[in-house]
Structure formats: C-alpha cells, structure tokens
Amino acid sequence: MSPPLLALAWIGCSAPCLCAQESPPDRAAAPAVRSVVVVTIDTVRWDRMGSYGYFRDTTPQLDRLAKEALLFTACRTPIAQTTPSHTSLFTGVLPYEHGVMSNHTRRAAKKNEDGRLESSEALRTLAELYRARGMKTGGFVGATPVKSSSGLAAGFEVWTEPRGPRRPGAEVISDALRFLERWKEQPFFVWIHLFDAHEPLVPPTLPDAYAARYADGPELRDWLAARGFPDSTQELERHGSSVVETNNRYDGALRYLDDQLEPLFERLRRPDLLAATALVVVSDHGTSNGQHSHMGHGTCWDEQFRVPLLVRVPGVEPRVVDVPTSLVDVWPTLFGLAPPLADAGFLAQCSGHDVLADDHDPRPFVGTAARKPAVDAITHGRWKLLREVVIDRPAEPGGAVQRRIVERLFDLEADPHELENVLEAHPEVAERLRRLLAEEVARQKKRGARLHGGGVIEPVDPKTAGDLERLGYPNSSGDASDEDDHGSDPGGKRDGGGGDRGECDGRE
C-alpha cells in the first residue's frame, strides 16, 4: 500500500554522566506537542558517540542534542540489518512477526521468496495511521534498503529517495527542511534517514577531508584492544587495509553524518517548532568494523544490536535512562511522554511497551540474524545466549549434510564485550535461556502467521537488487532449511566451544 512516488513532483516545487536513572522522567509533556520528527542514523554504533563516552569528537551535534533529551543507554535493535530493523521501528512489531527478515527476503508461506513489507488491516505503519487521522506525513530517505520498494513508504504523503543506491545526508535534510517550512503550522510526522556512516566508506561517498580526519594513536589502540579487535581480518588483508584504518574512516564518516545534522537541529530549536515537536534520533543497528573478526553487521553481536536512542519532548527534562529498551518500545514510550501523539491503532498491534511506565517489567530481549539457517540471541539481565545452527556440507559427493548447533553464553556484567564464552561454567543459565528463547521465537512466529499470513508478496525488482549489491548487500536468503532450531536439537550436535564456525561471515 505504498503511495505513488510523489518525490519527483515535490522535489521540483560536555557528555552526560552514564549513571543510573534516579527517578522517572517527568511525564507531563507540554499539551501543545502535536508533531514528531524521527531521524534514523543508519549503521551508527552507540559507543562511538561522545555522549556515550567515546574519546573522539565524532558527534558534536548529536552530543549537544543528548544534553537536551532523554539518552537511552540500553537500547537494542531486534535485527542488525536495515530493512527489517526499520520495519520493526515503524510497525512496532518484531521481525518474526512482521516477516521481513532481511533486505532481500520476506519469510512467508513459500520459503526463500523475495519480497517487501505489505500493509494490511492487521499490520499498519505508524505513518499510515498518522496520515489517516489528518497529520501531514513526509519521508526522506538516503539509500536503497528503505526506498519505496521496501514497502516503508506506506503512509507518507510526500516521499523522496535517491535515484541510485544512496545519496548524501545533506540532500535528505534539504528535502525535509522544505517540507517542514511548508507544513509547520499543521501536525506532521517526518522521517529522515541518513546513510553516511554505512560502508563502503570511500570517496566520493566519504569526502577526502573526512576520510583522513582521524589518525592512529594510543587512545584508539587501547579502545580497540579492550574490545578484542584483531589487528586485521582476512577480508581487510585482501583489500590491503587494516582494522585501525577502517575504524579511522568510520569515525570520519560519523563526523560527516553529524555535521550534516546541524541545519536540521538548528531549525528544530527555533521556537515555532521547539514547543510543539518531539524529536527521536535512533540507529537501526551498529556495525563490527573488525570486532569479533567481523567487518559488517547482520549478526548477533552486541556491537551490532546496541544502538543510540535520543528522545527530546517539550516539557520533559533531559536525563539518562538505563532501562533495557528495544526499537519496538520507542513509540509506546514516546506516547507515554507525549499523550497527544499516541495512536490507539498502533498500540493495539505493537509488541513494544512504554519502558518508563511505573509498572514496566523489563522482558528478555530476543534478537535474530538476517540469514539462514537460524542465528538467534537472548539477553536477560546480565546473561546473553547466542545460538546458531551450522550446516556442515559433505566434502565428498553424495555425503550427508550435517546440522549442529553452536552456542555461546556471555556474562555481560563481567564481560560487556562478549569475549569469553562461559557456557560450560553455567549450564543451568544456558538451559533457562534456551527455553525462554524457544518459547519467545515460537510466540513471535505464531503472531506473525496472524499478522501477514496469506498476504500478497511483491518481488524485489532487478534494479533494486542490483543497487543492494552495489551497497555490499549479498542476497542473504540462503538455501538451507528454515525449520525451527530454537529448542532442543534432536539428531543434531550441540557445540558449546565457540569456534569460528559460530561467527557469521556475511556482510549486510
């Protein structure tokens, strides 16, 4: 139910202390709050921003905003890939529920079938619901994974996107500012998507001045060493690069993205919009940049799951919020802070909760990887279980395919960077998490069958598939069995050793 591309016609016309939250935020938002702007900063790691403690000046604009907003320190995406994570954000439901499992595929009755989000009476985007109640809606995106071909344009009255695979954030923001000037007197919902921190980070995508902005030094080396980064990876060696060089370029890309935000944030600080507009800034996922010997994202490591989240609401005092939060919790939480923005239809379908409500009870967090066979993780309190189904193909023709399960258990309190597998030392914890994971995935899939079962699947067109390939997104649908692999493993072998086969080697 995407709207026609009105883009073509319209284009023509000091860091806060990361301490525990001492008291609930003031929930009495100004009654004049009537509009919302959401900025998704694609592929931004939370721990590379000054407001989250990073030592470099990568994000001065975002850091200034953090002093005016609620800064969430424990927000995670349920899937570390662009299209499905944005689908979760804008529908409020989890990947196994909305069925968009990667940038290429949609889990449906027919397996391995290319597709996109399809709205229905049971599954609507927030933009669709806001537009139905008379709000002006504008979507301005920077790259192919969230173009109209993804289905995420549904509900946007005005929509602009790049003609090719991607475009600079300045162009996206320019479109959004024109929309804001035109409709500032009416309630509006605006989505701005910036892709500047996403690989490939080479000129002209990343200007030379930013690519060379940061140099190697002891602070970076210490930061990388504390997180277990290797000096290089096989992928980087093939391209004549190193982990240090890659991370310097990434920091330059963050600064490039951040610098482009300045005119948007300054416009939103002017009195006519400041008093009436809520602002949400969130990343869809992080990225590894060599951590865990992985270069991209799309797996289940926390450097890919954990994301920055800033929420500024008129009348709500800025502070740090340490409550565990998921992308699907973003809108219910904002609705609690700004009741005029609440939408009953969205809340009825949403899997998330208001994490700042007095009666909120943090739930286990389940994340999945955008690949087959299954890779899932569950985090509950201090513990995280990462569980992957590995397919061993026979070396000789006619041999049997072997299926085994690789598990890792991490104590995030003692080991926040997931460097030590403690599965053998805590089998009872692993068993409890294994059971919770199986129950939660089964629940999500059952709800997913109700939300999109029998829906029409529209295939990804060849041009879109080609643009995704140019951005470094191989078709990740795979050809392995997609059966449930989240509980016991009859007939399979469980490997708790945490060898290299447990790591995903694909890039988003």
Are 151 and 241 members of one domain? yes
For residue 76, what pLDDT band results from cuts at 50, 70 and 90? very high
pLDDT the model gives residue 399: 78
pLDDT the model gives residue 108: 43
Is it the case that residue 493 has pLDDT exceeding 50? no
d(CA 39, CA 366): 24
Average pLDDT over residues 433-461: 77
pLDDT the model gives residue 468: 60
Mean pLDDT: which of 241-245, 356-360, 477-481 is highest?
A: 356-360
- Residues ≥6 apart with Cβ < 8 Å to 117: 87, 91, 98, 100, 106, 125, 150, 151, 152, 154
Are 158 and 204 members of one domain? yes
Sheet holding 493-495, edge to edge: 365-368, 375-380, 383-392, 402-411, 493-495
350 occurs within a structural domain:
no
pLDDT above 90 coverage of the chain, percent: 63
pLDDT the model gives residue 29: 52
More reliable by pLDDT, 67 or 106: 67
Are 303 and 389 members of one domain? no
Final residue of a structural domain among 295, 312, 344: 344
168 occurs within a structural domain:
yes
263 occurs within a structural domain:
yes
Q: Which H or E element spans position 368?
A: strand 365-368
pLDDT the model gives residue 400: 81
Pick from 373, 503, 487: which is nearest to 437 by CA?
Answer: 487
As a residue count, the chain comes to 508
Relative orientation angle of helices 218-226 and 243-260, to the nearest 10 degrees: 100
- Residues ≥6 apart with Cβ < 8 Å to 345: 124, 129
pLDDT the model gives residue 453: 52
pLDDT the model gives residue 48: 97
Are 331 and 403 members of one domain? no
Average pLDDT taken over every residue of the chain:
83
Are 400 and 301 members of one domain? no
pLDDT per position as a tens digit, 241-279 = 789 999 999 999 999 999 999 999 999 999 999 999 999
pLDDT the model gives residue 274: 96
d(CA 276, CA 34): 6
Is it the case that residue 114 has pLDDT exceeding 70? no
**Count of domains for the chain:** 2
Q: How far is CA 203 from CA 26, 169, 179, 208, 312, in A?
A: 45, 15, 30, 6, 34
Average pLDDT over residues 386-400: 83
Number of Cβ atoms within 10 Å of the Cβ of 10: 17
For residue 412, what pLDDT band results from cuts at 50, 70 and 90? very high
For residue 472, what pLDDT band results from cuts at 50, 70 and 90? low
The answer to whether 380 and 429 have CB atoms below 8 angstroms apart is no
pLDDT per position as a tens digit, 134-192 = 999 999 999 989 999 889 999 999 999 999 889 999 999 999 999 999 999 999 999 99
pLDDT above 70 coverage of the chain, percent: 79
Q: Which residue has the tokens 């290299």?
A: 500
Residue 321 belongs to what domain range?
Answer: 32-344
The CA-based angle 43-49-55, given to 5 degrees, is: 135
353 occurs within a structural domain:
no
Q: Which residue has the tokens 């139910």?
A: 1
Is it the case that residue 109 has pLDDT exceeding 70? no
pLDDT the model gives residue 371: 64
* Half-sphere exposure (Cβ direction) of 225: Cα atoms closer than 13 Å: 6
User: What's 262's DSSP letter?
Assistant: H
pLDDT per position as a tens digit, 215-234 = 989 999 999 999 999 987 87
75 occurs within a structural domain:
yes
Final residue of a structural domain among 289, 314, 344: 344
* Half-sphere exposure (Cβ direction) of 58: Cα atoms closer than 13 Å: 26
pLDDT the model gives residue 370: 65
Are 97 and 241 members of one domain? yes
pLDDT the model gives residue 465: 64
Q: How far is CA 310 from CA 18, 31, 32, 73, 394, in A?
A: 13, 21, 20, 9, 49
pLDDT the model gives residue 457: 40
Are 240 and 288 members of one domain? yes
- Give one word for 181, left, alpha or beta, with left for phi > 0 and alpha for psi -120 to 50: alpha
Are 417 and 322 members of one domain? no
Average pLDDT over residues 408-413: 97
**Would you state the structure tokens that stand for residue 46, as one six-digit string?**
């939370």
For residue 200, what pLDDT band results from cuts at 50, 70 and 90? confident
Are 391 and 322 members of one domain? no
pLDDT per position as a tens digit, 312-352 = 999 999 999 999 999 999 999 999 999 999 999 999 999 99
307 occurs within a structural domain:
yes
Are 295 and 433 members of one domain? no
The CA-based angle 40-357-265, given to 5 degrees, is: 30
Are 327 and 438 members of one domain? no
Are 229 and 336 members of one domain? yes
The answer to whether 151 and 116 have CB atoms below 8 angstroms apart is yes
Looking up residue 93, the CATH number of its domain turns out to be 3.40.720.10
Looking up residue 385, the CATH number of its domain turns out to be 3.30.1120.10
25 occurs within a structural domain:
no
240 occurs within a structural domain:
yes
Least confident of 81-95, 376-390, 464-478, 481-495: 481-495
DSSP state string for 160-201: E--SSSB--HHHHHHHHHHHHHHHTTS-EEEEEEE-TTSSP-
d(CA 205, CA 208): 9
b/e per residue 58-70 (b: at least 16 CB within 10 A): bbbbbbbbbeebb
Average pLDDT over residues 47-70: 98
d(CA 478, CA 52): 36
Final residue of a structural domain among 293, 315, 344: 344
